[in-house]
């Protein structure tokens, strides 16, 4: 009977087997249900799949390919480009602008209608280009699966496209291969696989073929190889248990496609604000029309008055201002190593309340570093960071030379010689060619004054036993070319090496008694600090020995010591985390690494919720998370700061749980396993250097330096952008309110309109571009990172700002309407009086602009000329307003008229009054 394994909801768990009604061509029955391929012997998996070590027959492989499809992710239906374009118009503010276009077209003001329509189209085009394509991450996943595979079919080895693999195929793996499908390993030789993109494990994982417990988490399944992971060492043979959508990668693809993309805080707030504004405008226009007609005015005149009111109350420049302000923020962030893929993400950073950060490479350097050493019964420390060999070996805080400590020198020598990696330097700094753990040993020797390359020449290698997962050690045989005995150096796990040791090396290099209890105490201290500890030993042989085997080193070894290493925190990340905590942002670590390592790094960074280093940081692992209810998960997600050994869907659940508590969540990641959570988060942050293409496609922001400090810098810029947006809205709305009130006052008073619709459009469009948009260039105010994040539940404008908007709107009403009537009473024509009223609005906006440079401080505390763009805008606006007033062609277009010099005195006085009143209001509102 033919069988295929289907993925269930749990990672890598095969839930059922679909069977046909006959035996396979190989004659093997396949009716036995299989729960978890990692939990049963490989022979059972082979039998269940109707396969053998000789592989499938070509005919059976073809039949299975026909039945189960190619080894590729199923593409989902895309949203068409036209639909995505049309959806850009589905915004309340765009509806208001489109209504403005219609109204101005009805008024046959074709220039104004064209200008407003142009604003709509520009906003729509920008949104269309910047919008995330929902299936980009899926397409990137599919591209990662386009590889070849070496398979055994009918007993012969063949190279085929990976897309042709089927369940039951026997696949061969070697160093450098990308695993083409999910495999249950059957045979291995020193096989190590880099699974960091899938699990978050920071170092390659040694593989074996031994069955695991059924509930073993994905990252700990050492008898499995998963699609798209990378073979870094050794060889292996495995049977395909899942292809295409049935792989772990396919399950993540499904998570990405099903993850809901939330609207940003700014989008949600502006949508609510726009809806309310729309209702207010319609209500004011309806009231104007109703009151006027009840007073006996003609329907047509009242309709035109209502149109004028609507045009005045609509903030035509707001969508463009939002887009341009965000775009300016994008440029600022790019200069601070943060590339924004979606414009609204700029502001989202300023509202972030929780940052869920990956550990490896983001909070840490992604460079293993030896920090603690034990040799001759003495403890030593190594300073310096990463692969840079500059640094020293310390004892009691003082630098020491390895030549003064024979036991230490021998320990470091063992680390150099029992080593297959190389320390190299490029224009971008030092790097390791080979295993990161071995690289750390080379760097430690350099810090002690040893020259690894010279030592390897002086001690030529004659033979080696490579590292194997079942033995957990590596051994090398060396000779110095003298009559002395040949020596074997061994490095490996403490558990495997210590029982083989008979003696230890004393402080002066002499044989000493082996005290296992003391060694285990030191080991406990190192592991408590999250260090990965390697043990080192040696044994001498006669000069005629030129090869070694496992039996040679079963016993009689001399214990040399321990070296403890860790991927250390970035110093700048520590500072950035504390800055985020000071800004009221909670930082949490979500990693696929081991709980002990995660807790140690969290402690060093200060992830205890208070910005202070603690001795022990509570950690919860993926196995514990899997057993929590939704309510328990929300509580745990809120109260816990470190999550280790978590699966992709658990990262997604954690993000969702935090969002359900009203948080704005930023999520960082670099692997395929991070993509679903990156997509669901309010802002997904991917690593630009080490990140996979899948992660980058799913994210809103990409860090070009993979550094957490860049996130903190981006948060700071985001807050600045949000501040400037609020400043613009606070500045522009009083004008719209004042214009609407002026129209209503004229209708209620039964007098001529002080400003015409075309003049309203002139005010709104020119001042928005030349005055209001200059606030987007306003520098960040001091203390921006010492205040809590914006509450996402609060409206975009506070009660205090609404009161200020109302106050300034009333002052503009009083000034413009009052001077309009004053001019008429002093013999001015309607055109001259309206020109004065228009200039009152522009001058009032100009003075109020300086108030809005800070919503709480005086402009003098910011520096009068600190925003050169604003000064330039004021100068140009002043020139345009003089043209509006005195240029004959402008008089014809906008029905304006020249006014005498004396008329400017009350105009400027109104502006000065507005500036003074708002300044007093700010002073009174101070805490």
Q: Are the CB atoms for 139 and 75 separated by under 8 Å? A: yes
Tell me what the pLDDT averaged over the chain comes to.
83
Helix then strand count (H, E) for the chain reads: 32, 30
pLDDT attached to residue 874: 95
Which residue reads 């993509």 in tokens? 675
Token digits of residue 652? 């997604």
- Name every residue whose Cβ is closer than 8 Å to that of residue 906 and which is 6 or more positions away in sequence: 819, 822
State the Cα–Cα distance between residues 179 and 243, nearest whole angstrom. Answer: 11
**Please, which residues have CB within 8 angstroms of residue 3's CB and are 6 or more apart in sequence?**
17, 18, 19, 30, 48, 49, 50, 167, 168
CA angle 577, 582, 585 (to 5 degrees): 70
d(CA 381, CA 702) in angstroms, rounded, equals: 36
- Element of type H or E holding 644: strand 642-644
921: its two tokens: 């209001």
- Where residue 137 falls among pLDDT bands split at 50, 70, 90? very low
pLDDT confidence bin for 610, thresholds 50/70/90: very low
pLDDT for 260 beyond 80: no
3-state secondary structure 285-319: HHHHHHHHHHCCCCHHHHHHHHHHHHHHHCCCCHH
Residue 791, Ramachandran bin (φ over 0: left; ψ between -120 and 50: alpha; else beta): beta
CA 172 to chain centroid: 36
The CA distance from 520 to 164, in Å, is 51
Percent of the chain with pLDDT over 90: 39
Which residues participate in catalysis according to the annotation? Answer: 358
The tens digit of pLDDT for each residue in 747-778 reads 888 888 898 877 887 888 789 889 998 998 99
Whole-number Cα distances in Å, 925 to 284, 419, 801, 854, 857? 30, 68, 11, 13, 11
Residues 661, 662, 667, 673: is their CA dihedral positive or negative?
positive
Nearest residue to 502 via CA among 541, 467, 545, 554: 554
Q: What is the pLDDT of residue 196?
A: 74
Residue spans of alpha helices (H) in 295-392: 299-313, 318-334, 345-351
Q: What is the 3-state secondary structure (H, E, C) of 769-829?
A: HHCHHHHHHCCCCCCCCCCCCCCCCCCCCCHHHHHHHHHHHHHHHHHHHHHHHHHHHCCCC
Determine the average pLDDT of the residues in 139-157: 70
Gyration radius from the chain CA atoms: 36
CB atoms within 10 A of CB 581: 18
**Of 293-297, 606-610, 859-863, where does mean pLDDT reach its minimum?**
606-610
Which distant-in-sequence residues (6+ apart) come within 8 Å of 558 by Cβ? 501, 502, 503, 504, 505, 511, 537, 538, 539
pLDDT at 876: 96
pTM score, two decimals? 0.70
Mean pLDDT score, 390-394: 93
Q: What is the pLDDT of residues 340-381, one digit of tens each?
A: 877 777 778 888 999 998 887 788 888 889 999 999 999 999
Band of residue 481 on the pLDDT scale cut at 50, 70, 90: low
Q: Which residues of 372-402 are buried (b: 16+ CB within 10 A; e: fewer)?
A: bbbbbbebbebebbbbbbebebbeeeeebeb
Q: Which are the contacts of 702, defined by CB distance < 8 A and separation ≥ 6?
A: 338, 339, 341, 685, 686, 687, 688, 691, 696
How far apart CA 489 and CA 655 sit, in angstroms, is 48
Give the DSSP H/E element, type plus range, for residue 590. strand 586-590
pLDDT tens per residue, range 406-430: 999 999 999 999 999 999 998 878 9
Q: What is the pLDDT of residue 718?
A: 86
State the Cα–Cα distance between residues 677 and 674, nearest whole angstrom: 6
pLDDT tops 90 at residue 295: no
Q: How confident is the model at residue 611 (pLDDT cuts 50, 70, 90)?
A: very low
Angle subtended by helix axes 757-770 and 110-130, to nearest 10? 40
Alpha-carbon gap, residue 120 to 673, rounded angstroms: 39
pLDDT at 287 over 70: yes
Query: How many whole angstroms from its chain centre is CA 268?
Result: 21
pLDDT, position 104: 64
Q: What is the crossing angle of helices 136-144 and 248-258, to 10°?
A: 170
Alpha helix (H) residue ranges in 131-193? 136-144
Burial of 87 (0-12, 13-18, 19+ CB in 10 A): middle
């Amino acid at each position: 009977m033919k069988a295929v394994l289907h993925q269930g909801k749990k990672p890598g768990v095969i839930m059922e087997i679909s069977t046909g009604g006959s035996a396979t061509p190989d004659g093997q029955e396949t009716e036995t249900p299989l729960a978890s391929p990692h939990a049963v012997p490989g022979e059972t998996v082979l039998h269940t799949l109707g396969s053998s070590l000789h592989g499938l027959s070509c005919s059976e492989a073809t039949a299975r390919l026909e039945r189960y499809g190619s080894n590729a992710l199923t593409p989902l239906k895309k949203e068409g480009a036209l639909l995505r374009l049309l959806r850009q118009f589905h915004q309340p503010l765009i509806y208001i602008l489109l209504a403005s276009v219609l109204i101005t077209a009805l008024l046959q003001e074709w220039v104004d209608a064209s200008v407003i329509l142009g604003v709509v189209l520009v906003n729509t085009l920008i949104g269309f280009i910047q919008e995330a394509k929902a299936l980009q991450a899926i397409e990137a996943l599919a591209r990662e699966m386009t590889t070849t595979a070496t398979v055994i079919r009918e007993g012969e080895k063949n190279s085929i496209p990976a897309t042709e693999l089927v369940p039951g195929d026997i696949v061969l793996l070697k160093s450098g291969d990308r695993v083409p499908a999910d495999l249950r390993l059957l045979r291995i030789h020193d096989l190590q696989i880099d699974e960091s993109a899938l699990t978050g494990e920071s170092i390659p994982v040694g593989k074996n073929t031994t069955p695991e417990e059924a509930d073993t988490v994905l990252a700990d399944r050492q008898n499995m190889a998963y699609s798209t992971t990378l073979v870094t060492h050794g060889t292996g043979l495995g049977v395909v248990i899942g292809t295409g959508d049935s792989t772990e990668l396919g399950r993540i693809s499904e998570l990405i496609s099903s993850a809901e993309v939330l609207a940003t805080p700014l989008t949600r707030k502006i949508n609510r604000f726009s809806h309310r504004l729309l209702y207010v405008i319609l209500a004011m226009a309806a009231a104007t029309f109703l009151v006027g007609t009840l007073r006996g005015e003609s329907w047509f005149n009242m309709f035109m008055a209502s149109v004028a009111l609507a045009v005045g109350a609509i903030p035509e420049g707001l969508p463009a201002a939002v887009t341009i302000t965000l775009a300016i923020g994008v440029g600022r962030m790019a200069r601070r190593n943060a590339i924004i893929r979606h414009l609204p993400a700029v502001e989202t950073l300023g509202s972030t309340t929780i940052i869920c950060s990956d550990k490896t490479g983001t909070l840490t350097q992604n460079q293993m570093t030896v920090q603690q050493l034990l040799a001759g019964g003495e403890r030593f420390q190594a300073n310096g960071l990463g692969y840079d060999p500059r640094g020293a070996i310390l004892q009691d805080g003082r630098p020491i030379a390895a030549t003064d400590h024979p036991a230490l020198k021998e320990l470091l020598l063992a680390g150099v010689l029992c080593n297959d990696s190389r320390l190299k330097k490029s224009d971008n700094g030092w790097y390791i060619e080979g295993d990161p753990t071995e690289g750390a040993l080379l760097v430690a020797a350099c810090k002690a004054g040893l020259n690894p390359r010279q030592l390897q020449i002086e001690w030529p290698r004659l033979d080696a036993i490579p590292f194997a997962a079942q033995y957990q050690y590596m051994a090398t045989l060396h000779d110095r070319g003298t009559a002395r005995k040949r020596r074997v150096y061994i490095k490996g796990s403490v558990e495997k090496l210590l029982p083989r040791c008979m003696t230890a090396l004393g402080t002066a290099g002499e044989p000493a008694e082996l005290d296992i209890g003391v060694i285990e105490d030191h080991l406990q201290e190192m592991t408590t600090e999250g260090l990965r500890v390697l043990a080192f030993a040696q044994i001498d042989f006669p000069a005629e020995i030129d090869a070694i085997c496992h039996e040679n080193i079963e016993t009689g070894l001399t214990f040399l010591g321990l070296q403890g290493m860790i991927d250390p925190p970035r110093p700048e990340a520590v500072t950035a985390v504390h800055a985020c905590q000071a800004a009221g942002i909670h930082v949490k670590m979500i990693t696929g690494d081991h709980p002990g390592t995660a807790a140690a790094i969290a402690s060093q960074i200060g992830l205890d919720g208070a910005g202070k280093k603690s001795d022990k940081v509570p950690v919860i692992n993926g196995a514990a998370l899997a057993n929590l209810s939704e309510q328990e998960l929300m509580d745990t997600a809120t109260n816990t700061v470190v999550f280790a050994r978590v699966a992709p869907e658990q990262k997604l659940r954690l993000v969702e749980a935090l969002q359900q508590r009203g948080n704005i969540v930023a999520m960082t990641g670099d692997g395929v396993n991070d993509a679903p959570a990156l997509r669901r988060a309010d802002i997904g942050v991917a690593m630009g250097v080490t990140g996979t293409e899948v992660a980058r496609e799913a994210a809103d922001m990409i860090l070009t330096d993979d550094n957490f400090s860049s996130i903190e810098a981006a948060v700071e810029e985001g807050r600045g952008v949000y501040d400037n947006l609020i400043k613009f809205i606070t500045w522009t709305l009083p004008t719209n309110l004042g214009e609407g009130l002026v129209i209503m006052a004229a209708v209620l008073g039964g007098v001529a309109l002080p400003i015409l619709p075309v003049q309203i459009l002139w005010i709104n469009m020119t001042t928005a571009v030349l005055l209001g948009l200059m606030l987007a260039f306003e520098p960040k105010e001091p203390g921006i990172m010492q205040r809590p994040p914006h509450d996402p539940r609060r409206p975009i404008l506070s009660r205090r700002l609404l009161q200020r908007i109302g106050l300034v709107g009333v002052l503009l009403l009083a000034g413009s309407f009052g001077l309009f009537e004053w001019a008429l009473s002093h013999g001015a024509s309607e055109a001259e009086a309206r020109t004065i009223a228009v200039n009152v609005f522009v001058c009032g906006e100009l003075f109020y602009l300086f108030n809005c440079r800070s919503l709480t401080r005086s402009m003098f505390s910011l520096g009068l000329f600190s925003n050169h763009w604003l000064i330039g805008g004021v100068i140009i606006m002043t020139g345009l307003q003089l043209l509006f007033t005195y240029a004959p062609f402008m008089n014809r277009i906008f029905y304006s008229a020249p006014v005498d010099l004396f008329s400017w005195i009350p105009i400027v006085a109104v502006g000065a009054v507005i500036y003074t009143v708002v300044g007093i209001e700010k002073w009174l509102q101070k805490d």
